[in-house]
Structure 1
Amino acid sequence: MIAALPMYQRAENAAAHAVLWALIRDGLRVRGIEAPEALDVETDHMEVWGRPDLVLSQICNLPYRAVYRERVTLIGASDYGLKDCAPGYYYSYFVVPKDDPASRPEEAAGYPLDHNDGLSQSGWGAAQLWAAERGFAFPAGKATGAHSASLARLAEGRGRLAAIDAVTWRNLERWAPEQVAAVKIIGRTGASPGQSFITRAGEDPAPYSAAIAEAIGALPAEEAATLGLKGIVPLPASAYDLPLPPKPEASAA
Structure 2
Amino acid sequence: MIASLGMYDRPETAAANDRLWAATRAALGHGPRRLTRDRDFDGIWRDPELLLAQTCGMPYRMGLYRQVQLVATPDHALPDCPAGHYYSVFLCHADRAQATLEELCQGVFAYNEPMSQSGWAAPLTHLGGLGLAPRSRLQTGAHVLSARAVAEGKASFAALDALSWEMIRRYDGFAADLHMVARSASTPALPYITGPRGNPRALRQALATAIAGLSTADRAVLGLTGLVEIPASAYLAVPTPAAP
- TM-score computed with the length of structure 2 as normaliser: 0.94
Letter in 2 for 1:79: D
What per-residue deviation string (whole Å, max 9, x for no partner) do you get for residues 123-181 of structure 1?
111101112222343345111111111111111111111002110111111101x3111
In structure 1, list runs of 5 or more residues that go unmatched: 249-253
CA distance, structure 1, for counterparts of residue 9 and residue 232 of structure 2 = 26
Q: Which residue does the alignment assign to 2:141?
A: 145
CA distance, structure 2, for counterparts of residue 203 and residue 5 of structure 1 = 16
- Determine which of 183, 190, 209 is the counterpart of 1:195: 190
Q: Which residue does the alignment assign to 2:68?
A: 72
CA distance, structure 2, for counterparts of residue 179 and residue 136 of structure 1 = 28
1:151-166 aligned at under 5 Å gives the runs 151-166=147-162
For the aligned residue pairs, the C-alpha RMSD in angstroms reads 1.5
Letter in 2 for 1:9: D
Check if 1:28 corresponds to 2:28. Answer: yes
CA distance, structure 1, for counterparts of residue 218 and residue 160 of structure 2 = 23
CA distance, structure 1, for counterparts of residue 238 and residue 136 of structure 2 = 20
Q: Which residue does the alignment assign to 1:251?
A: none
In structure 2, list runs of 5 or more residues that go unmatched: none
- Determine which of 91, 96, 103 is the counterpart of 2:87: 91
| 2:94–2:179 contact (8 Å) kept in structure 1 | yes
| 2:50–2:198 contact (8 Å) kept in structure 1 | no
* Runs ≥4 residues deviating over 4 A: none
CA distance, structure 2, for counterparts of residue 110 and residue 78 of structure 1 = 36
- TM-score computed with the length of structure 1 as normaliser: 0.91
Displacement of 1:227 after TM fit? 1.0
Q: State the aligned residue count.
A: 243
Q: Which residue does the alignment assign to 2:127?
A: 131
DSSP-derived class of the 2:66 partner: coil
- Determine which of 234, 237, 242 is the counterpart of 2:232: 237
Displacement of 1:204 after TM fit? 4.0
1:32-51 aligned at under 5 Å gives the runs 34-51=30-47
* Percent identity of equivalent pairs: 37
- Determine which of 105, 111, 116 is the counterpart of 1:109: 105
- Determine which of 173, 180, 190 is the counterpart of 2:175: 180
| 1:102–1:108 contact (8 Å) kept in structure 2 | no
